[in-house]
Amino acid sequence: MEDFAHTMANFVRDHQSWAAPIVLLLAFGESLAFFSLLIPAWGALVAIGALIGVAGLNFWPIWIAGGIGAALGDWVSYWFGFRYKEQVARMWPLSHYPDLLPRGEAFVRKWGVPSIFIGRFFGPLRASVPLVAGIFEMPYWHFQVANFVSALVWAAALLMFGDIIAQIIEWIWRAV
């Protein structure tokens, strides 16, 4: 994962005009059910966030791209769950973990719309909560409002975390 994040950050540093599209794709993959297990995108997003101040990248288009990518990933996951309901439980990796869907349903039923926001910030829940919300038919517009708001907050948090860490490291480097 560290190599992937490093490679992505180096590419963005060298090709700054690609920052927003890359962040959009990384956030989409990180939020998409099943694929998020294969794409370690959060580390790359933090690393790209570190470049914002250091390399002089414009925060706003990168942030919007990250928010849109994350929201689209959740939107697709919701649709997939809504469309394929019972069949989803027979697909990998859920077929190997039969207790995940009932636990996810309990989480979504307990927390309702805030479950979308909560799930966005916890790795294992990030891509599964929208899938479960679709399977158990959370009202579409309730889901979408929580989806887009949480996606924008999540993208800002990751990018700003990287930027703040880079500033702290730069400050320490100068002090030493």
11-44 pLDDT tens trace: 999 999 999 999 999 999 999 987 877 777 889 9
- Rounded Cα gap, residues 34 and 127, in angstroms: 7
How confident is the model over 121-125, as a mean pLDDT?
80
- Rounded Cα gap, residues 60 and 44, in angstroms: 18
Which of 111, 136, 120, 130 has the alpha carbon at shortest distance from 66? 120
What is the maximum alpha-carbon separation in the chain?
59
- Rounded Cα gap, residues 149 and 21, in angstroms: 20
- Residue-level pLDDT at 99: 82
Residues 6+ apart with CB under 8 A from 86: none
- The tally of domains found in the chain comes to 1
Handedness of CA 166, 54, 123, 107 (dihedral sign): positive
- Which range marks the domain in which residue 123 is found? 2-175
